[in-house]
Structure 1
Amino acid sequence: MRLVVGVDGSESSLRAVDWAADNAALRRTPLRLVYASLWERYEGASLAQGADRPSEQVMAEEIVQTAERRARRRQPDVHVTTDVLPEEPEQALVRESHSALAVVLGHRGRSGMTEAILGSVGVTVAEHAHCPVVVLRCDHADRARPGTPGRIVLGVDEKPAGSAALRFAAEEAGLRGVPLEAVHVSRHGVTGALPGRGGGKREPDAVPALDEALRDVPIGLEVLRRTVSGRPRDGLLAASRDAALLVVGARRRPGHFGPQLGRVAHGVLHHAACPVAVVPELS
């Protein structure tokens, strides 16, 4: 199993390379850098006009070589491979997710879209990938290193998505040696911190949701519990301000091929102050 990074030459995708290289070093797993584009559809031999290779292919190879050099400089001991795939990025990365620990993407590509808008590739991959998808923005540079102080935040709703998001969040917290904080956001009730598993006044609906979400937490991992009143998206965005990573589950409906992300996942992908991991959960 390996970490896969979708690269396209943008600064955002290079930040993703940095994060993935550090994470691969922590996990002692290989790193695969992939550039995917349907260049062959637009540049055939007739357009090359005597060139040995179409210009888009040359550019693609330069992109992956640049990303490879960056990864090797950052983590020399990580085994790095690259590939250039002549197909749609969404299709290629979803297929890569079948054999990946996680797929890591930048928030936007070379199209020049504003930071407030997540590119269509990121949305599609997060909706349909078979493994966790981690998305970073350029302004996440100070949160991109696993050694960065800060906890791992796990978003929990009234019906916890399952254990996959918890496993990923707990593994990240354990690798980094930081606490795991489970945050439950309710539209009603009392706001307050819920340290540990002890007593205290809590929101009635927060207790079963948090207990269910944390029932398989690894022994020895420091776990914090917090419940917040308000809109779920706003509560998780607030929690992301001093977090190293925000993890949310995405329920998948077998046989359904349309959009698979809810409004909360969409919101945190667009606006979180730290990298976001979307973890698929089969409902």
Structure 2
Amino acid sequence: MSRRAVIAAVDGSAESLAAAEWAAREACLRDLPLRLVHAWQDWSPAFAHVPYAGRDITPGGTTVTRHWAERVPREAADRLREGHPDLEVGVEQVLGRPAEVLLSAADTAEVLVMGSRGLGALGGFLAGSVSLPVIARAERPVVVVRGGERAGDERRSGTGDRVVGRGRNGDVVLGLDLSRPCDELIAYAFEAAAARSATLRVVHGWTAPAAFGYDPAAVDPGHRVAWGHRAASTLTDVLRPWRGTFPAVEIMEQCVVGQASDHLVDASKDASLLVVGRRMRRAATGTHIGPVTHAVLHHATAPVAVVPHL
């Protein structure tokens, strides 16, 4: 069986080119091939004239539309091969709706990487008509990289060329829900940290039960302290077997009071990668993206990996 590849969606935009560069570094870290996928739709009329080019567009758009579709991933691949001479880079153009093309590609991917436009601290990501449907339905991990990511945003360790992250410490940050911890999600985060020789910071946000607001005895701060200790103990228990599987990965456990999404967005400022989960749902309606993941996708500053799980 052939190896899975890291797949990057490219459309010629600065955001997709930043995602492709991130995907190339990820493929190098995982010793996997990189495949660039460009989904294109033929919007050309049956016959049109291009006066400045001095030629016509033939039916099917073979003169201009197809030429552009072939040029976008080819030029991106050339740049990546120049920067990563040992990386195996493949190119694929697929005629079809972008979301459907990328969902099909994701089935064979180790991870699918997409770009997203950053709108700053208040606006966050621009969640488009392609990225959210793909994230909501993909059954393989999807990484969203905001525009502006560059190779220099990740520093390298003192030994070799291993990427260890961006910002101050380059932690890999994992948002973990202790009510239903998932092996696929935890494994992805540990593998990402191990590949980067980075610290894995595991963040669990908790809030006191609503009943605390109605029970006079709950005013005692000791009750909340006890809840915090129990959450921290549970987190330690969940991570204990993973420490044995990944002994080289340094782990930082954080049980924090308040909305998990707020803490994860804050943690993303110094992270090389933020990892969150998405529970797979078969319902025909709804976004199929949980509120924490949705908030993180819109406001995190680091690349965000969304790992689907049951």
TM-score, normalised to structure 2, is 0.78
Q: Distance in 1 between matches of 2:16 and 2:154?
A: 12
Alignment-derived partner of residue 203 in structure 1: 229
Alignment-derived partner of residue 253 in structure 2: 225
Q: Distance in 1 between matches of 2:273 and 2:240?
A: 18
Alignment-derived partner of residue 267 in structure 2: 239
CA contact (8 A) 1:166 1:214 kept: no
Alignment-derived partner of residue 183 in structure 2: 163
CA contact (8 A) 1:107 1:115 kept: no
Alignment-derived partner of residue 256 in structure 1: 283
What do the CA deviations read for 1:211-261 (whole angstroms, capped 9, x no partner)?
3356434231221101111111101111111111000010012x3244211
CA contact (8 A) 1:18 1:74 kept: no
AA paired with 1:181? Answer: R
Q: Is 1:12 paired with 2:39?
A: no
Find the structure with the greater CA-based Rg.
2
Q: Distance in 2 between matches of 1:37 and 1:257?
A: 26
AA paired with 1:120? Answer: S
The residue correspondences of 1:42-57 to structure 2 (distance < 5 A) are: 42-43=43-44, 45-47=46-48, 49-51=56-58, 53-57=62-66
Alignment-derived partner of residue 195 in structure 1: none
Which of 82, 91, 99 is residue 91 of structure 2 equivalent to? Answer: 82
| Pair 242,59 (structure 1): closer, same or farther in 2 beyond 3 Å | same
Q: Is 1:269 paired with 2:268?
A: no
What do the CA deviations read for 1:108-129 (whole angstroms, capped 9, x no partner)?
49xxxx7542212111111111
AA paired with 2:200? Answer: L
Q: Distance in 1 between matches of 2:262 and 2:275?
A: 15
CA contact (8 A) 1:154 1:246 kept: yes
Unpaired runs of 5+ in structure 1? 190-199
Alignment-derived partner of residue 53 in structure 2: none
Cα displacement (A) at 1:161: 4.3
Q: Distance in 2 between matches of 1:160 and 1:140?
A: 33
TM-score, normalised to structure 1, is 0.85
What do the CA deviations read for 1:58-79 (whole angstroms, capped 9, x no partner)?
1111111121112112211111
| Pair 210,183 (structure 1): closer, same or farther in 2 beyond 3 Å | farther
| Pair 115,45 (structure 1): closer, same or farther in 2 beyond 3 Å | farther
| Pair 115,63 (structure 1): closer, same or farther in 2 beyond 3 Å | farther
**Corresponding residue pairs, total:** 265
CA contact (8 A) 1:151 1:173 kept: yes
Which of 202, 205, 214 is residue 182 of structure 1 equivalent to? Answer: 202
The residue correspondences of 1:70-149 to structure 2 (distance < 5 A) are: 70-108=79-117, 116-141=125-150, 143=153, 146-148=163-165, 149=169
SS at match of 1:8: coil
Cα displacement (A) at 1:168: 0.9
Q: Distance in 2 between matches of 1:82 and 1:213?
A: 39
AA paired with 2:279? Answer: R
Alignment-derived partner of residue 30 in structure 2: 27
Cα displacement (A) at 1:46: 2.7
| Pair 103,150 (structure 1): closer, same or farther in 2 beyond 3 Å | same
AA paired with 2:37? Answer: V
CA contact (8 A) 1:6 1:104 kept: yes
Q: Distance in 2 between matches of 1:53 and 1:230?
A: 55
AA paired with 2:13? Answer: S
Cα displacement (A) at 1:9: 0.7
Q: Distance in 1 between matches of 2:83 and 2:6?
A: 15
Cα displacement (A) at 1:95: 0.7
CA contact (8 A) 2:57 2:63 kept: no
CA contact (8 A) 2:125 2:297 kept: no
CA contact (8 A) 1:156 1:210 kept: no
SS at match of 1:203: helix
Unpaired runs of 5+ in structure 2? 50-55, 156-162, 210-225
| Pair 208,107 (structure 1): closer, same or farther in 2 beyond 3 Å | same
Alignment-derived partner of residue 196 in structure 1: none
